[in-house]
Amino acid sequence: MHETYDVVIAGAGPVGLMMACELRLAGVDVLVVERLDEIDPTMKAGGINVPTAQALYRRGLLPELVAESARMRDQMARFLTAGDESADEPIAPPFLGHFAGIMIGVGLVDFDHSSFADLGPAAEVYLVSQQSIEALLGRRAAELGVIVRRGVELTDFEDDGSGVTVRLGDNTVRAGWLVGCDGGRSIVRKLAGFDFPGLDPELTGHQAIVEMTGAEGLNPGWTTTDTGIYVHGPVPGRILTVELDGPPADRDAPITAAELQASLRNVSGVPVEITAVHSATRFTDNTRQVTEYRKGRVLLAGDAAHVHSPFGGQGLDLGIGDAVNLGWKLAAVVRGWARPELLDTYTTERHPIGAWVLDWTRAQVALMRTDLRSRKLREVMTELLATRDAATVIFKKISGVLHRYDLGGGHERVGAAVPDFELSDGTRLGRHFADGAAVLFDLADSAELRAAVGPWVPRVRVVTAKAVEPGDLTGMLVRPDGFVAWAADGGSLAGLEAALGRWFGAAG
């Protein structure tokens, strides 16, 4: 007899682990399989955006994020002051991010803009590596009882309409649903036959942690040259190169010190010598996205659903957003209080954000090209991004504070992330989601409001507390992923029952 699970997840990277944790919070039986024996040490994303930080904060993981971010800030600051004998202590990193390697200075961004209001303490956390996120989520998954099997590769599956039979080498398991979180070359995507349109690559990139001599000739940070772009830092030994002369001939070939050295010399013009390689990867600007995120009982998330260049560091964030959007919906279907049609909103909500990320990276590649026209356009963009208005616009986009879903409804907060303002009981709104449930915030101590949501309890938990700084809001229904499904001013309950039914099934 086959082992049986509610959901099998292919891939134990950050996206697969986040998905598994979301499902386990709702009591779903999950198996995660991963072909790698341990966490991939290759350096990838070095930071997270506001929605990712908030998603982890809502699940009670803020202390670990703060500690890791502080460690990385210190490491970066020491790199920036290395060799500067006049520096009494490490300085804070002077940049918040970049667009095509054009840096966004900390002092240029207008943080008084309304887009940055009520973000809460999670917004202060951004320097966290992908490996740290993966390790953190691995620990949380273990605490929640998620079964993770490493060194196990999914080789085939069959969706028969009532479930999925998944082949794992010589073994098979039976699941109600299969979720592919298995990366840009997803076997789940390929076997299921998802359409995956997009653009072919035109560049070769390398990113590595190395030991080298002659590094004193390299500029710290991002540097544009006549032959491409290179990055040195912000942690010791980290290099990145971009050459726009076509994709690699063999992306799967082992990466050697000689290859990295040749690329860095070509782009920088500095005669460095790479003496050791601790981790390395190739990348391109291949940009593709599936047209639908679900096919029957098979769903995709993260790089399995969309691939793009790493510029701007949006990939990890995009995948975590997929996981928190899909996790509670799939759990609701598994638990039986939501119809499978709820899963269609996963594509509706996440596909536009994925498409935006792809276009965002394509625009950056256009500014990295070495032809004269592109160089002149880059000069213009560099001047613009040195202004307060432009820097603020770009940072609002890369920080993710503008992300929202079109959920209908007349209130301005519907479809936006829940604000993290303080409540009179000493908590903040974001602290009320650790169990993964939806929350109705009764901000006016309304017996009528509490009675209206009664038939949906415990699918929806009620929190009664006033805001420390009273505003017009009297009630707010927030989905488990932290997005507002209904809100009202002045005590009105119009639209509440419809929102409850739409997102949390029939009453009773």
The whole-number pLDDT of residue 504 equals: 96
Q: What does 58-99 look like in DSSP terms, one character per residue?
A: HTT-HHHHHHHHHHHHHHHHHHHTTT-TT-SSPPPPSEEEEE
CATH of the domain at 296: 3.50.50.60
| pLDDT tens per residue across span 358-407 | 999 999 999 999 999 999 999 999 999 999 999 999 999 999 999 999 99
Tell me: do 13 and 134 sit in the same domain: yes
* Any domain includes 294: yes
| pLDDT tens per residue across span 275-320 | 999 989 999 999 999 999 999 999 999 999 999 988 877 889 999 9
Tell me: do 301 and 190 sit in the same domain: yes
Tell me: do 67 and 145 sit in the same domain: no
Give me the torsion for CA of 204, 13, 295, 152, rounded to 10°: 110
Nearest to 192 by CA among 296, 266, 281, 262: 296
17 and 189 in contact (C-beta within 8 Å)?
no
Joined tokens for residue 200: 């072919």
What percentage of the chain exceeds 70 in pLDDT? 96
d(CA 395, CA 393): 6
The whole-number pLDDT of residue 259 equals: 95
What percentage of the chain exceeds 90 in pLDDT? 79
104 and 396 in contact (C-beta within 8 Å)?
no
Task: For residues 10-36, give the mean pLDDT.
Answer: 97
* Any domain includes 410: no
Task: For residues 250-256, give the mean pLDDT.
Answer: 89
The whole-number pLDDT of residue 79 equals: 67
Tell me: do 63 and 118 sit in the same domain: yes
The whole-number pLDDT of residue 76 equals: 72
* Any domain includes 381: yes
Does 194 have pLDDT greater than 70?
A: yes
Tell me: do 112 and 229 sit in the same domain: no
The whole-number pLDDT of residue 296 equals: 97
* Any domain includes 357: yes
d(CA 171, CA 193): 23
| pLDDT tens per residue across span 440-467 | 999 999 999 999 999 999 999 999 999 9
Tell how strand 306-307 and strand 298-300 pair up.
unpaired
* End-of-domain residue from the set 253, 284, 315: 284
Does 88 have pLDDT greater than 70?
A: no
Tell me: do 195 and 327 sit in the same domain: yes
Q: Which helix (H) or strand (E) holds 347?
A: helix 344-368
* Any domain includes 393: yes
Tell me: do 296 and 167 sit in the same domain: yes
Instruction: For 444, list phi and psi in degrees, rounded to 5.
Output: -130, 15
pTM tops 0.75, yes or no: yes
Mean pLDDT, the chain, whole residue set: 92
Does 415 have pLDDT greater than 70?
A: yes
The whole-number pLDDT of residue 106 equals: 85
Which range (31-35, 91-95, 190-194, 461-465) has the least confidence?
91-95
* End-of-domain residue from the set 354, 380, 403: 403
By the 10 Å C-beta count (0-12 exposed, 13-18 middle, 19+ buried), 92 is classed as exposed
The whole-number pLDDT of residue 91 equals: 54
Which range (194-203, 255-264, 405-414, 494-503) has the least confidence?
405-414
Residue type, 350: R
The whole-number pLDDT of residue 86 equals: 54
* Any domain includes 356: yes
Task: For residues 55-65, give the mean pLDDT.
Answer: 95
Tell me: do 459 and 448 sit in the same domain: yes
d(CA 312, CA 497): 40
User: Domain range holding 458?
Assistant: 416-504
Q: Residue 451 to residues 114, 174, 206, 310, 496: CA-CA distances in angstroms?
A: 34, 41, 58, 48, 12
d(CA 393, CA 113): 10
Bridge partner residues of 208 (DSSP): 239, 280
Does 92 have pLDDT greater than 80?
A: no
* Any domain includes 86: yes
* End-of-domain residue from the set 284, 302, 319: 284
The whole-number pLDDT of residue 420 equals: 95
Does 90 have pLDDT greater than 60?
A: no
The whole-number pLDDT of residue 315 equals: 86
The whole-number pLDDT of residue 408 equals: 87
Tell me: do 421 and 294 sit in the same domain: no
- pLDDT interval class at 84 (50, 70, 90): low
- pLDDT interval class at 268 (50, 70, 90): very high
Tell me: do 301 and 265 sit in the same domain: no
CATH of the domain at 424: 3.40.30.120
Please report how the helices 315-335 and 130-144 are oriented relative to each other, as an axis angle in degrees rounded to 10: 20
* Any domain includes 409: no
Tell me: do 453 and 494 sit in the same domain: yes
Tell me: do 144 and 103 sit in the same domain: no
| pLDDT tens per residue across span 203-224 | 999 999 999 999 999 998 889 9
Q: How many domains does the chain have?
A: 4
